[in-house]
Structure 1
């Protein structure tokens, strides 16, 4: 037995904070509250196993092992410990489970000094049954040893110092406690059942008239006696009851029902309709468990003629996303996950590839609700390990499918180790696992190698040869989805897969890797790169390309690099660059959503800061028919979009205006459809900076009140008219007045392109939060956040 107490006598223990004790009151079976799910994020102790002195901290989950600098390629790696006191009393016939959504990346778990389990893999959940480990009437201790050191058998397998992303450490996702009857619906991952476990919903026949499918509910009887079991369930306002089965003690069964919904509301990126299936388990005619599963009904088809959603041939507009935040790494709230999804939708995308690992369940839920297609990804990047690594990869495929199979947003399963030399045996087996788990016609696998096992070929643009790339591809029978584009082909000019060998190859004139501080010309170059690559990809629509995903949405850290990977169309703080405006312009104005925080419909953006160093040739992005540009309220020109070599195949080419020379003042653009103004934008030459304006990025999602949350606070350097001073880099100091929050990040911090950013992390939000920002020569900025104002 391994535990921290064994080290007493050798080590000095310093207690930093008292531990909060959580109490849970659970009803007896049959009293109407048959399943209790409680947040388990508070009241943890934490220590890093680094010295002879153990220093405990009180922490709240999600938690990262160490707050890192903004640019990090030597993040903390090693062993850390988490402990929690659990005051829990179960009544006869109840069971208790603790579910960890994500621990990076090896976890050993003890309960009351008794070893429970080891879990390998940092991106998917695992559960423990603590029922038989509980000491009734006394305090119980849950202890988790976490290790995030390089491990070649745990995907991604590759050492972090040569890895193209960073995986940080800690119990970085939510933990929950579930108390159930001893007859209960299992957790799909914990049950480890092929094409079963938990709740499985799949609609196999879908039309506008009727949708037919199956419902599978896996039920376990952990009691010692046989029981008569059946389920009641409600779908689309109608009640149903299954057949009754006799379920022996200490056994399990799967009840399968047929589903039918007439005139279904179909899920699509433009109309993400969702259904709830309310399930009640009955044992001996008494309710013993209840669960609500949310899903959607849609028909997807990959055919010789293209990709169809509900019968409509669709070219998919997508992006890639890494799930990290600056400083705190992966340890972000469910609300922060949702805000990222809002930003992706706002940028004009209807699809996201989860590069290069399964991401948080909260992010998938947001994609379900916002209408964002998901390509779910096996963890991997330029590495194939030994037999143990391969076995862990196979299990990750199973667990990913079981966790995510009911999400209507998940269209594609990337059961492929990205840019890795997979064997034929691996690719066949990976697809066989998917086929066994989901043996349905509309399940599509994706792989970066054009192998017969895969349904969809997903090369990066740079994997092909310039100038055609994949537009004339004749190598296979699979449709092509460009899984990455816009970065590497401009950065290294098709130098190959070994990115580290070419890390110093970037040239300012061509690279898409541009920080916001790089200046107007280089940000415009990045936007042009993405425009050119997008236009190139569109040429392949007639020869088998069904969509693309740019690289990428947000800047991020890499294990092998001393700088941020800056090809994001928004920076690491989620602040948009000019390329963001280009992608927004490629969404048709007719696509209207009405979601909180989503800017849909007609748009127009002027892609310049309009300073003395600005080019007099001004590009305006819009999805309208016609744009008029004014300088200081004098019409420069009203014109239609022009198709140059970078816009031959775009749905909405940009508008280019040549003003001849720079003149300070205000540029105003008006966008017209059928002669009517539908959108406008203004850009004004900044005067001398005078003050700081403070704002918070909520993206339509209010600060969480009873749990931890994390948001960006922006201090914008502005002139007397409130205009951003885009070349300002002065030092800004933030201050906080709050009992329930802290500031995280460099402080003071230098403004980048006129904006200084810091993270605000709350433990809860029940009282007013006041944030101020100061800088030399500036009026102070102030921001007050109040629960009543949300």
Structure 2
């Protein structure tokens, strides 16, 4: 039966009748087209491509992208799904595109991908964290329906970075086509995709800058043109620059000829006066429009956002941007969500970046792999400097693995080189025993792909790279890296977690004598209570203050969000927000380190005060207030207990804004209020009330700068809090909460779910239609909460 089926399929291919199961007409336009909808999915089947394309007995699930092959439990416990899955989509191409160039651009698919079109293997790609391009020009049909099948395997593979098996890995690589897919329809004479061609320091559009100042700047635009035509072509490149809707300047290159079936780089330069420079404090973006002109007509066009800036990094002067010194105050981020793994919408990635900026950081290290374009786009927009990184963690494989890692270095630079936020290239396999030859080669690859000055590689070993980026725990207490005096600039890439987990840190260990092993660590879930959350915040304060005493150009705490890791059966809980993006006390410590007004975006760097105490425990009378104000006054039940300046203890000596510590003599239920003052004027306040008996449920959702959007697999966190009659959250509540929903949306996650520290969280995924939906959260003995959500 199988042989007969194969024979019939081969005959169908020969007469141009290859088809997937359903018939429909697609509408694509010249240029870039979203290819995220209309897919089908199946996993754990034993079949060949021909049968998958034609068999009517296979039950495909209808899905859209981004997508994960498996909805995982909240805590994966070392048993993440790994295997082979398939994505299928049938599509039609209009006859007027018969002579066009067509290609698919996959932003990310985990992790070995085979791409078949109409039964033919066109591409096999190794690696789940970087994009790849598939030219389908010579294989696609404009006369019949086409069948695209992507076979994915995410099993352990020592040849594909990070290479280490999940069950011994400190993070999880997930599954699926978890980022966007695009269909490009172009003229045979077109601007190449960065991954369509394999050109060192070329492919696509490459933007660099020179002579940057507040008075003037030069913008160099290198355009890699590809001529797939059988005839030579004459072209001009027109480059237009806009700031918002305001046209700035246009430059057109001299006409030049491109040979048939060849490529050529065309260079343009724009020189502008009084540029608005990009920086973390003022992330001003320009739009660059690049047009290919042939025979007087624009045959191709590409637009991209750019930021004009200059920067330099030296051991003596530290980090300077646009001539001004800036201390890098950073964090690390894994791109994981609960349940769906890496399958985040563009909006969800933006919201993660928004929270990083909201937390007071001006820098993020991508740990330990390249992350989505939407996340780095958000860093461009919000003003967050980025250290890009190749996939790697405590694994150094054979020659083939190393070759693939060097390819990742080159791909990383090509895809992210135009982002103004990206300033450092971590071309190092994190905490891996790399050879000198590999480090030299990976460092060189970055500089080959991004030639010129002020390009910086980094590595965790002090060899070959432009920056040395150890973790704090890679040195010994109490000095750690504060006596490092070499000529290589130093950045502390991780701190605040392992040194406390291993209990070899801290300058005053006697103060920790009354703490258990679990209490003194920075790995604290919100459920563990306020004393342990306060200890986590103190650990970060102590270690960050320590880092500031040395010559490091900056540091990045470990880390922003709690996450799953393969080698253990619990969450890594050293995040300053939990896996649901709810803040711990340490979040407010970092938020307080941002100077008032340091960001031109009004959502950030505002006057703030935050109380790190639930005011519900008579034994916990230490009231820590985090604030970026000059003075803080504390009130207990509307009575002032004093106004004071910031702390001056050993853990506050180098902080931009030390905390304010108040020690109460007694506990009187009611409320505490902190008021922050600048120049004697009240500018911020925070109130914490003693929670009463649980009465009802209060609902809200996290938008973080982006409304919930229909039609793109967007999702947000919805929170249900157990509150008293005054709306105060009970941080000890663990009630079971049941969510229900009406409308075009989907709930993802455990349901019902027990509250953690008074809050139960679920993911809300928008459907295809705009409009309103209603969410209800209920629990036995409590008044239900309802919430209306508007989906745009």
Using the size of structure 1 for normalisation, the TM-score is: 0.93
* Residues 617 and 660 in structure 1, CA contact (< 8 A), matched pair in contact too: no
* Residues 19 and 43 in structure 1, CA contact (< 8 A), matched pair in contact too: no
Deviations 1:148-193 (A, max 9, x none): 0000000000001000000111111011111111111011122111
Alignment of 1:271-286 (within 5 A): 271-286=282-297
Q: CA deviation at 1:563?
A: 0.2
Deviations 1:523-581 (A, max 9, x none): 000000000001101111xxx21000000000000010100000000000000000001
Alignment of 1:451-466 (within 5 A): 451=463, 453-466=464-477
Alignment of 1:480-559 (within 5 A): 480-494=490-504, 507-540=517-550, 544-559=551-566
2:442 is aligned with 1:427: no
Residue in structure 2 matched with residue 742 of structure 1 by the alignment: 746
* Cα distance change of structure 1 residues 19 and 550 upon mapping to structure 2, 3 Å threshold: farther
2:128 is aligned with 1:122: yes
2:462 is aligned with 1:450: yes
> CA–CA distance in 2 between the matches of 1:394 and 1:523?
41
* Cα distance change of structure 1 residues 561 and 90 upon mapping to structure 2, 3 Å threshold: farther
Residue in structure 1 matched with residue 276 of structure 2 by the alignment: 265
Alignment of 1:31-430 (within 5 A): 35-50=30-45, 54-72=58-76, 73-91=78-96, 92-236=98-242, 237-303=248-314, 304-430=316-442
> CA–CA distance in 1 between the matches of 2:660 and 2:8?
71
- Secondary structure (helix, strand or coil) at the match of 2:519 reads coil
* Cα distance change of structure 1 residues 645 and 5 upon mapping to structure 2, 3 Å threshold: farther
Q: CA deviation at 1:300?
A: 0.5
- Secondary structure (helix, strand or coil) at the match of 1:753 reads coil
Residue in structure 1 matched with residue 16 of structure 2 by the alignment: none
> CA–CA distance in 1 between the matches of 2:519 and 2:204?
54
* Cα distance change of structure 1 residues 348 and 20 upon mapping to structure 2, 3 Å threshold: farther
Residue in structure 1 matched with residue 13 of structure 2 by the alignment: none
* Cα distance change of structure 1 residues 748 and 477 upon mapping to structure 2, 3 Å threshold: same
Deviations 1:354-398 (A, max 9, x none): 000000000000000000000000110000000110010010111
> CA–CA distance in 2 between the matches of 1:200 and 1:90?
33
Residue in structure 1 matched with residue 683 of structure 2 by the alignment: 678
Q: CA deviation at 1:21?
A: 4.1
* Residues 20 and 44 in structure 1, CA contact (< 8 A), matched pair in contact too: no
Q: CA deviation at 1:765?
A: 3.9
Name the count of aligned residue pairs: 755
Which of residues 633, 641, 647 in structure 2 aligns to 1:636?
A: 641
Using the size of structure 2 for normalisation, the TM-score is: 0.93
- Secondary structure (helix, strand or coil) at the match of 1:399 reads helix
> CA–CA distance in 1 between the matches of 2:196 and 2:664?
64
- Secondary structure (helix, strand or coil) at the match of 1:218 reads strand
> CA–CA distance in 1 between the matches of 2:7 and 2:782?
54
Q: CA deviation at 1:25?
A: 4.3
> CA–CA distance in 1 between the matches of 2:160 and 2:414?
19
> CA–CA distance in 2 between the matches of 1:515 and 1:603?
24
Q: CA deviation at 1:320?
A: 0.1
* Cα distance change of structure 1 residues 161 and 144 upon mapping to structure 2, 3 Å threshold: same
Gaps of 5+ in 1: 10-16, 27-34, 496-504
* Cα distance change of structure 1 residues 51 and 593 upon mapping to structure 2, 3 Å threshold: same
Q: CA deviation at 1:4?
A: 14
Residue in structure 2 matched with residue 500 of structure 1 by the alignment: none
Q: Identify which range, 636-645 or 529-538, moves more after superposition.
A: 636-645
* Residues 338 and 362 in structure 1, CA contact (< 8 A), matched pair in contact too: yes
Residue in structure 1 matched with residue 671 of structure 2 by the alignment: 666
Q: CA deviation at 1:61?
A: 0.7
Alignment of 1:723-734 (within 5 A): 723-734=728-739
Q: CA deviation at 1:137?
A: 2.2
> CA–CA distance in 2 between the matches of 1:378 and 1:116?
26
Deviations 1:613-634 (A, max 9, x none): 5511211111111110001100
Which of residues 770, 775, 788 in structure 1 aligns to 2:774?
A: 770
- Secondary structure (helix, strand or coil) at the match of 1:191 reads coil
* Residues 229 and 245 in structure 1, CA contact (< 8 A), matched pair in contact too: yes
> CA–CA distance in 1 between the matches of 2:720 and 2:281?
35
Gaps of 5+ in 2: 10-19, 48-56, 243-247, 506-514
Which of residues 578, 587, 591 in structure 2 aligns to 1:571?
A: 578
* Cα distance change of structure 1 residues 614 and 520 upon mapping to structure 2, 3 Å threshold: farther
Which of residues 577, 599, 605 in structure 2 aligns to 1:600?
A: 605
Deviations 1:217-239 (A, max 9, x none): 01111111111111111124212
RMSD of aligned Cα (Å) = 2.0
Q: CA deviation at 1:6?
A: 5.9
Residue in structure 2 matched with residue 499 of structure 1 by the alignment: none
Residue in structure 1 matched with residue 480 of structure 2 by the alignment: 469
Q: CA deviation at 1:295?
A: 0.9
Q: Identify which range, 127-136 or 361-370, moves more after superposition.
A: 127-136
Residue in structure 1 matched with residue 488 of structure 2 by the alignment: 478
